[in-house]
Amino acid sequence: MLRKLCALALSLIGSLAAQDPRDLSVPTGHLTLTGASSTTINTQISNGYRLTDIEYRGTVLGTALWDAVFVQNSGSYSTGWWWYTGITGTQVSSFLSSNQARLIDLEPYDDGAGNTRFACIMVDNTGANNKAWWWTYNTTSTAVSNLSSNNNARIVDLDSYDISGTTYYSAVMISNTGTDNRGWWWYLNVTPATIGTLLNTNNARLYDLEKRDNGNWNCVMIRDNSSPAWYWWYDLTSSDILYLINNYGVRVIDIERYTLSGSTRYAIVTINNSNALTTSIGNAMRSRTNGQVGFWMERINGSNIANLNGDTQFEPASTMKTLHHTHAMRRVYLGTVNLSSLINVYTNYSSTNASCPIDSGAISQQLQNVLQLMMENSDNARTQAVRAYFGQTNINNTAAALGMASTSLNHRVGCGADAIANPNQITLRDLHTLHEAVANGYLGSYRDNFYSLMLDSVNDLSIASVINAEGASLGLTSTTIASFRNFTSVAHKGGSYGLSNGGPLWYDRAEFGYLSLPFISNDVITPREYSFGAFVNNATVDSQASAAIYTDAIPELLRPTIRSALLSWNNSLAGVQSFGTGCGSPVFTQSVSGLPRIGATVSYTTTNAYASSLALLAIGFSSTSSNGIPLPASLMPYGGGFGCVALTDIPISRVGIANGSGAASFNVSIPNDTSFIGLEYLTQFYSFGPTVFKTSNGRRSIVGL
């Protein structure tokens, strides 16, 4: 059956240079489907994806099935393209000609009736997309080698297949010149161990991988000048593929299916699909723990900063209590309960599990105290009290109303057997959704109550340590750094389980929270809000899982943004700059002691004034005009000495007497009010002698913290 994609956007994007997705590691949307029908593939195409790799799976009940790899057809990955299945070599040639295209993937297969047919993916090969290229099929490895050598071409797609007991090859290749020039190698009928050795020897990465019927492999590998992170795995199940893609933040560039001991297995080649921060933290966490890892940071109502496994469901342990807390505070906001309302708390715990609350030992306690003990002390009995009082179904309904589509509260927190049998589920994205809703007013005037009942010290999670270190590296004073810490706020909740189902313990850990950082914008402190967190599931060593979250993930997630916020304070720091020159001989000069910070007193001092004479400190706000007179302005016509000029207007003045050495000093007190941050004012001294007066240089002062 012929399948054709009509690329309506070709005329609009054909002039863009289309790079091979195997050469790109710019993060993009991607999909990998196994055993998909053409209909399913076309559905994803209609959603804005394009195919980059396709493998024939055979036919089930007359329907051809495929393994397929997609990227979002946008940005760096955007190009005009087409795909076809069930066509002959002659038809491939015809479509290449009519589309002015070149192949990126050619998949020969037996259609079940003894006929060799092709599935193929082709892209626009005009304008900036144009490459010299060649393709061949039903040929020998020697002929492929000769075609490559004769044209200085490198193979980008290689397949082998048998016809009547004879092995044939198909290949697609491009000119190995210009920006496409790479060191490259290709190997036939080799083992995975041999491939690993050759990759190391050649300092290369896999570009194309093909399983042979005898259990060995054909492969193409290339060497990049600066190779992106990449990985390859084999003998995988379909669930393994999803786990590895998410846990490593990669996308598939090649997938191969085969049978091993009667079971379906896969090999995949992948390339990095994460930004630099995500890549760095992911590497650190995976090197620390053998558990599944994930982390998240996103500005509230803004863009994502880091995301690994953000859409993967995990068991959050006590971090789930954030949902209990949100539901309860929403009920308070809606007026169905008060923070002072008494609720029933069962204070006893299971005799076999000291963290699992049981329904005995009842007391009454105000809701506010219950919530605070739940969120700050991680008290499981209080958590169960909230679950029982409001109802698990209602708490789940709140999650659904917030759009937390992958969240489900399934058991009372703290009970290991329940956590194994029916774990609670949440995602990092859902936790962000919750915190964004709270920040945006979901709890109305109770928003601050919500945060205050949580762990909310800036000393938590190494936040203060990161602020101190980054502030010091930027050269900020300890006073400024302390002020920054004072304007920073945080609210968070962590949790952990140690679980066993009759075997070794495994550990689930999570931490997630809200952060407000005091950026200075237009000389006003303008807080920017973020959600952040991390998890480790199914780790065998708890200390390593903990370090992965609290050493490798959270401080490093926050560090670049904290530094950026501190930089905005650096740009609004108190400062004084000299401008213009004084007159007289020796030159009349102005100096400053201290910096103009809010709440501080700054001393402006003269040297070389007329001894025991009248001195005036002019304080102004413009160095360009004074009462319509352009500045600087010569003062000689008004009795000033030679070269004496007015550098500033004089809306404010201070008058005093210089001492016998020609020194005068005036103190300026800055109000202790953040509204003065960024205020610029100018100072200049005047000294009046018996016959003339002289002027000093000017000083430009900026009020800061």
* pLDDT digit string, tens, across residues 452-480: 899 999 999 999 999 999 999 999 988 88
pLDDT digits (tens, 9 = 90+) for 24-61: 999 999 999 999 999 999 999 999 999 999 999 888 88
Quick one: pLDDT band at residue 394, thresholds 50, 70, 90?
very high
Are 267 and 255 within 8 A, CB to CB? yes
Is the confidence at residue 295, as pLDDT, over 90?
A: yes
The DSSP secondary-structure symbol of 425 reads B
pLDDT at position 675 is 83
Task: Name the β-bridge partners of 297.
Answer: 306, 532
Compute the average pLDDT of residues 672-698. 92
Compute the average pLDDT of residues 341-362. 94
pLDDT at position 115 is 82
pLDDT at position 225 is 85
Lowest mean pLDDT, pick from 26-35, 57-66, 198-207, 303-312: 57-66
pLDDT digits (tens, 9 = 90+) for 279-292: 999 999 999 999 99
Quick one: pLDDT band at residue 132, thresholds 50, 70, 90?
very high
Quick one: pLDDT band at residue 705, thresholds 50, 70, 90?
confident
As a whole number of angstroms, the distance between CA 501 and CA 386 comes to 28
Quick one: pLDDT band at residue 14, thresholds 50, 70, 90?
very low
pLDDT at position 655 is 96
The average confidence (pLDDT) of the chain is: 93
Compute the average pLDDT of residues 495-514. 95
Residue 603 structure tokens: 């001393």
Exposure of 536 by Cβ count < 10 A (0-12 exposed, 13-18 middle, 19+ buried)?
buried
As a whole number of angstroms, the distance between CA 594 and CA 575 comes to 9
pLDDT at position 95 is 97
Compute the average pLDDT of residues 548-555. 98
Quick one: pLDDT band at residue 227, thresholds 50, 70, 90?
confident
pLDDT at position 7 is 33
Is the confidence at residue 4, as pLDDT, over 50?
A: no
Torsion of CA 533, 538, 540, 546, to 10 degrees: 10
CA atoms within 13 A on the CB side of 447: 13
DSSP 608-627: SPPTT-EEEEEEES-SSEET
Residue 418 structure tokens: 């329940």
Is the confidence at residue 522, as pLDDT, over 80?
A: no
Q: What is the pTM of this model?
A: 0.81
Quick one: pLDDT band at residue 163, thresholds 50, 70, 90?
confident
Compute the average pLDDT of residues 532-547. 98
Domain residue ranges of the chain, discontinuous segments joined by +: 317-570, 575-702
pLDDT at position 523 is 65
Quick one: pLDDT band at residue 677, thresholds 50, 70, 90?
confident
Is the confidence at residue 671, as pLDDT, over 90?
A: yes
As a whole number of angstroms, the distance between CA 651 and CA 621 comes to 8
Compute the average pLDDT of residues 140-166. 94
Compute the average pLDDT of residues 154-159. 96
Rg (CA), the chain: 35
Backbone φ, ψ for residue 318 (5° rounding)? -75, -10
Is the confidence at residue 296, as pLDDT, over 80?
A: yes
What is the CATH number assigned to the segment(s) 317-570?
A: 3.40.710.10
What is the CATH number assigned to the segment(s) 575-702?
A: 2.60.40.1930
Is the confidence at residue 15, as pLDDT, over 80?
A: no
Quick one: pLDDT band at residue 664, thresholds 50, 70, 90?
very high
* CA distances in angstroms from 341 to 115, 331, 364, 369, 394, listed in the order given: 77, 12, 9, 10, 18
